[in-house]
Amino acid sequence: MASGETTAADEGALSRMPLGRRVKAIFGGSAGNLVEWYDWFAYSSTSLYFAALFFPKGDATAQQLQTAAVFAAGFIARPVGAWLMGVFADRAGRRAALTLSVAAMSAGSFAIAVLPTYAQIGVFAQFGLLAARLVQGLSLGGEYGASATYMSEMAGKARRGFWSSFQYTSLIGGQVAALLVVVVLQHTLSKAALEAWGWRTPFAIGGLLAIVVFWIRTGLDETRAYLTEDVDKGRRGRTLDLVREHPKEVAIIFVLTAAGSLSFYAYTTYMQKFLVNTAHFSKDVGTAVIAAVLLTYMLIQPAVGWLSDQVGRRTTMAAGLALGGLATYPVMSAIAHAQAPAAAFGLIMILALCHSGYSAVNAVLKAEFFPPHIRAIGVSLPYALANATFGGTAEYVAEWLKQAHVESRFYLYVGAVMLVGAATAARLRNTNKTSLLADD
């Protein structure tokens, strides 16, 4: 089908969308997003078990540092994927980009599931792990912009914050699912079996789920904004137009993403290791605490999204980042000395609640800055660049500072970047009223 050509289903989307069709579109977009993020986070959720198999030299901290480096390397590919998939989404359609991204993620997950270890093929195992993560990075780099654009365009004006919040709900859901799979494996397999081969199971599951989502996404409606925009095909997805016509918006998204992404990985992905290596909880307890935090965190996203429809997305984001920036140092210092799992859960939830001011509205706020013909690349490219720079290096910076015996400087770093993001958000226009998303 040619770019911009409509199907019968697409024609139905051109009229005012009924609730049932809107829910179907949001479900299709968020289900794929959940699986993509499940596949991405399966790496960090299982790295405590496979680190020694691919990086056998050094102590546990050194091994985690090397797996964190590969985790960060996956982020290098994300700006490339964001650029390629953003251009593709603006030219060929949101649906086509979503379908392609989940196919690539499936390939990366299956590759890790069957990858030989260092003992079997030596240093080539490390290169193989890196290559698979780069493929996943390409996929996820494109997924964020495509799904954020798709779900924001499908959300409708009246409840745009609420519906688009499911983009991050499904993102967190992917991490929750990855952790829950690990929890199940911890309680069904011996430690030896989990470290020998059980850690591969989450990647195999993710690859299979991605195939299911690929089929679901082929049946999604295209968005009204993409189908009806009157613009030359040659202008769709042009990177030069994005940089030349929207430099301020690109810079704003970069700063906001730096704050939101760094804090997200500090509060969630790294926190699992922090509970084990700094607070000295067992691996099982640390994983269970983070799973409980993420499940609660996931469920409050729609409520915060609804709140943003009432008070404004600018206010919601600025308040969340400011409170998180002020709370990070004292709360993480307290977590480091927490002795009860319930205490650790409560403290981490303070940070998660603050972060929700960013996470629930970040996709729609960014999408509201751009016209449809460059919306996907406008959302995805600065996001991916900031994510690679700050989010992708969060674990590595934290482990490096811990190894240098100045771990508390990581808390200060996270807090400072969040406060810069809060100041930026506070100066935004009220996108609830100035949105470039078409009304529905």
Q: What is the mean pLDDT of residues 338-363?
A: 94
pLDDT of residue 226: 66
Which domain CATH number covers 102? 1.20.1250.20
Spatial distance between the Cα atoms of 28 and 14, rounded to a whole number of angstroms: 18
Distance of CA 266 to the CA centre of its chain: 13
Query: Which domain, by its residues, includes 177?
Result: 13-221+239-429
Report residue 136's pLDDT band, with 50, 70 and 90 as the boundaries.
confident
1 lies in a domain? no
Mean pLDDT computed over every residue of the chain? 83
Going by pLDDT thresholds of 50, 70 and 90, the confidence category of residue 232 is low
Q: What is the pTM of this model?
A: 0.79
The answer to whether position 440 is within a domain reads: no
426 or 43: which leads in pLDDT:
426
Lowest mean pLDDT segment, chosen from 135-144, 262-271, 410-419: 135-144
**pLDDT(2) > 60:** no
Q: Rounded to an integer, what distance in angstroms lies between the CA atom of residue 207 and that of residue 139?
A: 13
Q: Residue 230: is its pLDDT beyond 70?
A: no
Could you read off the pLDDT of 202-227 as tens digits, one per residue?
Answer: 999 988 888 888 887 777 777 676 66
Mean pLDDT, residues 89-94 taken together: 78
Q: Does 435 fall in a domain? A: no
Give the 3-state DSSP-derived string for 245-293, with helices as H, strands as E and coil as C.
HCHHHHHHHHHHHHHHHHHHHHHCHHHHHHHHHCCCCCHHHHHHHHHHH
pLDDT digits (tens, 9 = 90+) for 308-337: 888 888 999 999 999 999 999 999 999 999
Q: Indicate if the pLDDT at residue 48 is higher than 60.
A: yes
C-alpha 57/C-alpha 52 separation (Å) is 8
Q: Is residue 437 in a domain? A: no
In a domain, 234, yes or no: no
What whole-number distance in Å separates Cα of residue 235 and Cα of residue 377?
Answer: 12
- For 177-208, letters b (16+ CB in 10 Å) and e give bbbbbbbebbeebeeeebbeebbbbbbebbbe
Is 52 domain-assigned? Answer: yes
- pLDDT confidence of 271, banded at 50, 70, 90? very high
**CA within 13 Å, CB half, 290:** 34
In a domain, 231, yes or no: no
Q: What is the number of structural domains in the chain?
A: 1
Which whole number is the average pLDDT over 60-78? 77
Is residue 17, in this structure, part of any structural domain at all?
yes
pLDDT at 307: 93
pLDDT at residue 166 in the model = 82
